[in-house]
Amino acid sequence: MDCSGEFIAFAVDTGVLRFGEFKTKAGRQSPYFFNAGLFNDGASLNRLTDFYARAILDAGLPCDMLFGPAYKGIPLVAGTAIALAQKGRNLPYCFNRKEAKDHGEGGTLIGAPLSGRVLIVDDVISAGTSVRESVELIRGAGAAPCGVLIALDRMERGQGELSAVQEVRQAYGIPVVAVASLEDLLAYLGGRPELAQNLQAVLRYRQQYGIKE
């Protein structure tokens, strides 16, 4: 099983990826739900960020440092930096706080100074707000956003014909790398006869809301 397939199996085993009926932020009834916030202990976070590190190395993304947008991106960027260092690639990292601090070191950024090519590390891309704010922070510091790394690409349309991931690629001209995508989820379900009902539900959902290839 490849990295993406391993990740889907891991997410299902930990209950982070669930099947049933769930209402999305867009008001759609989705047959599956992915909540990265449920990677909430040391062992699961360690394995999750190992998948992130592998995705970076497999994609061959040229980057000089990592950035994690508050709040979910903070443990993700720290864990990914550790996982990369354990694989022989030591990169500095930085994250932001939501409100500027007016004492101590001050400012909104914590960690290494933003410089060079910066890879944004987050959980998912929904409306793209977190990415937009991150791009503005990075460019404001004189650095260059070079890509976004997320856990799962749902590959479904936003308000128009494009997905949130496609909109980010188009708006900023940077790649978006996902550890796994809807295609990987379908492949996982297709290999498990006991989950045939879930497979059909996800296929129907993709038919209704999926992006065009």
Confidence (pTM): 0.92
Query: Looking at the annotation, which residues are catalytic?
Result: 101, 103
Query: What is the residue range of 13's domain?
Result: 3-209
**pLDDT per residue as tens digits for the range 166-176:** 999 999 999 99
**pLDDT per residue as tens digits for the range 51-107:** 999 999 999 989 999 999 999 999 999 999 999 999 999 999 999 987 765 555 557
Please tell me the distance from the alpha carbon of residue 156 to that of residue 202, in angstroms, as a whole number: 11
* Count of structural domains, the chain: 1
Please tell me the distance from the alpha carbon of residue 151 to that of residue 122, in angstroms, as a whole number: 8
- Tally of CB atoms within 10 A around 35: 15
Task: Determine the average pLDDT of the residues in 155-159.
Answer: 88
Q: At what angle do helices 42-59 and 73-86 cross, to 10 degrees?
A: 70
The CATH number linked to 139 is: 3.40.50.2020
